[in-house]
Each structure stands twice: as structure tokens, then as C-alpha cells.
Amino acid sequence: MSAVLPVPLVQVLQPLTVLVAAPGLSGAIAKAEARMQGRRGPRVLQPYYDLAKLFGKESLAPEGASRFFLLAPVIAMTCYLTVPLLIPVLTSFGLPLGYMGDIIGGGFLLSLASFCVAVAAAETGAPYAQLGASRSKTFGAITEPVVLFVVFTVALVTTTDLPYAQAATVRSSADQIIRPAHLLASAALFLVILYETARIPVETHTGTNEFGMIEEARALEHSGPYFALLKWGSACKQLILYTILIDVFLAPWGLASGTSAGPVALAVLALLGKALVLGLVVAVIDNTFAKLRLFKITEFVSAAFLLAVLAVFTLYLGGG
């Protein structure tokens, strides 16, 4: 019989799992993409080596930048590590801090992190960083309503916007997953995730500087540990969004129903396995489509918005 872990320890394990596993997930996706392109690619653990190298370097700030420039990566990382406290990462039941916020609250935290990084990039005066910050906020004005419509659909189905309640509704019956409104909302959220993780075939998340960069461009002027925090935070955001999709909308199975060490350890492995499968799907999408022009991103995000609106209308038409 496995030992029972203290509830506060399990609470801490949720953000710790995201913090530790996020770079590895990014490394696995990068390796898979390289194999699809016929290249050997970097090591799966390469992101960890990159972070260790960056933490050992000196930090510099552009002339004229305020203290907020260096404070923004810390705020962003704090926001990213708070969200796993609100969503079902390892357990199927809400931990003590699990009900201090809902999906909207988690979305606000992710938006706050993005806003801080964008403001820090804008005040550098660097053209690439300012382009990335401006574009992220411009397109974010479209993606944020999509998330709100998705949450609204969830609230109509479960009478609450708590992620644990939504996951419990999906676990109650496999038929819940194939409900039209649920499928449309999940598809809309998936498209938003592709945009938020820089995986749509419009911008590039690897490679040299170019006008199509958005996510990577915002961090160009940071260096040393602060740049490491931004890259680490970006990986954490990716895993958080994956977790929301798989543990709330599509596959909320494998979560621990108690605090015993065995089920919690299995929940960690289940999360990593499901996130890896989703990451491979995203890698296939990222490498299948030819790169599009930047202005096409509005059409891509508008499609996500349309799916979210259709999910709401489907509920009212009896397809929920």
C-alpha cells in the first residue's frame, strides 16, 4: 500500500510538475519536428542545457528601459506557476487552492503574463521586439473573446466555469466528449492553443530574426537569467494550455482520486504521456502546412472565434 502524501505537498507538486516537465515537452516536440523534416535535430534534453547556460550568463538591459523590463519575466513566471493551482493537473478533485479561481481567472493570469512581456518588449525601442509586442496584442484582442466564448459554453453545459467541474462532467460519460457543443468548443480552444504556442504556419518559433516572429520577438532584448525565465515561462504556458485541453475538455482520465503516492506518480506519467501525444499532433500540423503570410493570422483566429460562437448557438438549438 502506497504512502499517503500530505495535501499541501500534492498542491505544490502540480506547479512543480509543470515547471520541471515543460522544457522536456518542448524538446520532444522539437526533436519530432526535426525528424519529420529529415534532420537529426537537437537532443530532447537540449532546452534544459540551454536554460542552465542562460542562467549562468550576465543580464543586460537596453539603455532607457525601466525596472519593469527586468521585473516582467519574474511576474510572467509567477502567473504561469499560479495557473496549475487552479486546474486539474494531477488530481480529479480540487485541492485547497483549486477553487480560489475559475477558468476565467486562469485566463486572466495568462493574459497578465503576456501583457507584462509585451510591455517590457515595447519599452526597449528595438524594432523586432516592438513588432512582436504589437502583433501579440493585436491578435490577442481576437483570441481572448474566443476563450471567453469557450468558457461561456462550458458554463452553460456544467452550470459552472470551474475546471474541476467540467472535467468531472466529461468523466461522467464518454458521450459527453462527442456532444456537438463540446466538440466545437474544444476545436476553438485547440486553434487558440496553436496560436498561443506559436505553432500555426504563419510565424516561426525557431530560426533567425524575421518579420513573421511574434512569440520569440518579444524576448529578443532580454538576456541571461531573465531571458531564461521568458523561455522557461513560454514552455510552461504551452504545457498549461495542453493540460487545460486534455485534462478538462478531451481526456480527463488518469488523474489521481486521492493523495496516495502511487496514484499521484501515475497521474504525473499520464499527464506527460497525453501532453506528448498532443504535442506530436501539433508538430504534424506545424510541419504539414506551408507557411502563410502574416495577415492570414486574422483569418485563422477568426475561424476559432466562429467555432466558439457556433458552440454557443448549438447549445441553444438543442445540440449541447
Query: pLDDT grade, residue 208 (50/70/90)?
Result: very low
In a domain? residue 186 = yes
More confident residue, 278 or 108: 278
Total domains present in the chain? 1
Query: pLDDT grade, residue 158 (50/70/90)?
Result: low
Distance (Å, whole) CA 117 – CA 14: 24
pLDDT tens column, 193-204: 887 787 765 555
Query: pLDDT grade, residue 22 (50/70/90)?
Result: very high
SS3 276: helix
DSSP conformational letter for 84: G
Using an 8 Å Cβ cutoff, are 319 and 222 in contact? no
Distance (Å, whole) CA 91 – CA 99: 13
In a domain? residue 93 = yes
SS3 179: coil
- 34-48, 83-97, 190-204: range with lowest mean pLDDT: 190-204
The mean pLDDT of the chain is 81
Tell the burial category of 269 from Cβ atoms under 10 Å away from its Cβ (0-12, 13-18, 19+).
exposed
Q: Which residues contact 209 (CB under 8 A, 6 or more apart)?
A: 128, 217, 220
- 72-81, 82-91, 209-218, 225-234: range with lowest mean pLDDT: 209-218
SS3 87: coil
pLDDT tens column, 220-265: 777 889 889 989 998 999 999 999 889 888 888 888 888 888 889 9
* Unique residue bearing C-alpha cell 502583433: 135
Angle between helices 103-122 and 127-158 (to 10 degrees): 170
In a domain? residue 260 = yes
Name the H helices within the chain.
Answer: 7-36, 46-55, 68-82, 103-122, 127-158, 163-172, 180-196, 224-244, 261-288, 297-316
Distance (Å, whole) CA 67 – CA 73: 11
Angle between helices 297-316 and 180-196 (to 10 degrees): 160
In a domain? residue 259 = yes
- Nearest alpha carbon to residue 167 among 292, 257, 297: 257
Grid coordinates given for 55: 542562467
User: Residue 101 belongs to what domain range?
Assistant: 7-316
In a domain? residue 82 = yes
Residues in a beta bridge with 91 = 256
- CA diameter of the chain: 60
SS3 10: helix
Distance (Å, whole) CA 179 – CA 181: 6
In a domain? residue 2 = no
In a domain? residue 1 = no
Tell the burial category of 233 from Cβ atoms under 10 Å away from its Cβ (0-12, 13-18, 19+).
buried
134 has a pLDDT exceeding 80: no
Grid coordinates given for 28: 520532444
- 95-99, 127-131, 152-156, 205-209: range with lowest mean pLDDT: 205-209
In a domain? residue 195 = yes
Give 132-177 as a DSSP string.
HHHHHHHHHHHHHHHHHHHHHHHHHHHSS--HHHHHHHHHH-GGGT
